[in-house]
Amino acid sequence: MEREPGAAGPARALEPLRHLREVLRTALSRIRGAAVFRGRGRGASGPGLGAPGGAGRGGARAPGPCLRCCAGVFAEGESRESSETFEQQRFWDTLGQTFKATSQEATKLSLAFSRPPLPSAEDCQKLSEGVQNAVLAAATVYYWLPKGQGTTLRKMVRDATAEVVEGMIQLTDVILRTPRQSLSQEQLISTGSIWEACEQISHLPQDNQAAVLSAMSAYLGVVRDAVEEMEQAQGEDRDPYSDIMEDEELGSRGNRDTYWSEADRKLLGPCMGLMKASKACLKKLLGAVKVHGKADTPEQVAQLDDLADITNEISPSVDELALSMYPPMNQLSVRLNAAKLASVLKKVLEITKSSHVCPPSEEGWVQFLTGAVDHNMDKIKDFTQSEL
């Protein structure tokens, strides 16, 4: 339930906040639905960098027209090509300013509703317009990042922007539904989440090479955890479920469904080999991108995006294989999941070899891991031949 003031006047005073929520929902829908595809030399453009989204101009705009403006600006920003040269530092400075302004407006809004009485209709209108202008400015600046700068980078900026808008929607929801007598814990948490979301702009990678490195580092962390977990499970003398299941739940400690058979353990070896190859591949590729990766030409940017896209498939494939390796093991399922992971790794290595991050000095590990993937997959096929 939303706030229900006792008089029609206070109820009308909250109307701008309700309309603000609708504007923010529209903005979030546009941002989340924005295409993040590649375009050489293409750029999403909005108004000039000097006045993002109307912020800083004299006089606040009414929410109604801004709702239509929101859709219009975003559609225009996604379709128009920019003839202007992209100024990287200017873009990041402007985006940082809009995020800072959004954080400040969130603080003003939260403080205004931290204790009775409710803000007047006029004050509520001004607060809503301040938030609206700041958020739309940040969203509009996101669209100024040309697609030619890289889809990996653009997705990270889009997600950061969407997180800010989501936080502001949550704050308006909380204000509208919580009692007005005091500042609620939920309102404090919502305000803090906006501050954190706005602060992260300073930690975002500022070119596609850095964005791809950030993404790959996250993928490597997931794969490393999966490898360590499986190594621990295999290294224990007890069954792999003993840390989550009590004796009574198992019924009998002799229940073979919770243990690997001798044939299963033979199959685990090459499966672990594939998982370790995944970890080694990401680790070596990270090093290659860090040393040799560039984002100076459209071709280099596109190659980095290709690497980010294909390496994104490694950790889910590792997880699927790992899950199928636990007892009771279905060896055919393990074989299929192993084949899927091997296929992904081969694609990663092929794309790497044909990219600018793989000069002759890097070809050795690519060739070695290609052989390791083939060797482990051949052993898995041999061990599971009887299952076909």
Please tell me which residue, 47 or 256, carries the higher pLDDT value. Answer: 256
| pLDDT of 43 | 38
> Alpha-carbon torsion 190, 195, 198, 199, what sign?
negative
Please tell me which residue, 236 or 221, carries the higher pLDDT value. Answer: 221
**Lowest-pLDDT choice from 58-67, 262-271, 273-282, 292-301:** 58-67
Q: How many CB atoms lie within 10 A of CB 220?
A: 20
- Is residue 342's pLDDT more than 80? yes
> Could you tell me the pLDDT band of residue 172, with boundaries at 50, 70 and 90?
very high
pLDDT, mean of residues 12-33: 91
CATH for 168: 1.20.1420.10
Domain final residue, candidates 203, 236, 261: 203
Domain final residue, candidates 156, 175, 203: 203
pTM above 0.75, yes or no: yes
pLDDT digits (tens, 9 = 90+) for 107-157: 999 999 988 888 888 999 999 999 999 999 999 999 999 999 999 999 999
- Would you say residue 367 lies in a domain? yes
CB 186 within 8 A of CB 281: no
- Is residue 206's pLDDT more than 50? yes
* CA neighbor of 376 nearest in space, from 264, 296, 266, 223: 266
For the chain, the domain total comes to: 2
CATH for 253: 1.20.1410.10
| pLDDT of 79 | 39
Q: Which residues of 27-48 are buried (b: 16+ CB within 10 A; e: fewer)?
A: bbebbeebebeeeeebbbbbbe
Domain that residue 288 falls in? 208-387
- Is residue 163's pLDDT more than 90? yes
The SS3 call for residue 354 is: coil
356, with CB counted inside 10 A (0-12, 13-18, 19+), is middle
pLDDT digits (tens, 9 = 90+) for 7-20: 445 567 789 999 99
Enumerate the H helices of the chain as residue ranges: 8-13, 15-32, 63-79, 88-112, 121-143, 151-177, 185-199, 208-235, 247-250, 262-292, 298-311, 314-325, 331-353, 363-383
> Could you tell me the pLDDT band of residue 85, with boundaries at 50, 70 and 90?
confident
- Would you say residue 2 lies in a domain? no
276: which DSSP letter?
A: H
pLDDT, mean of residues 54-65: 41
CA distance 123 to 120: 5
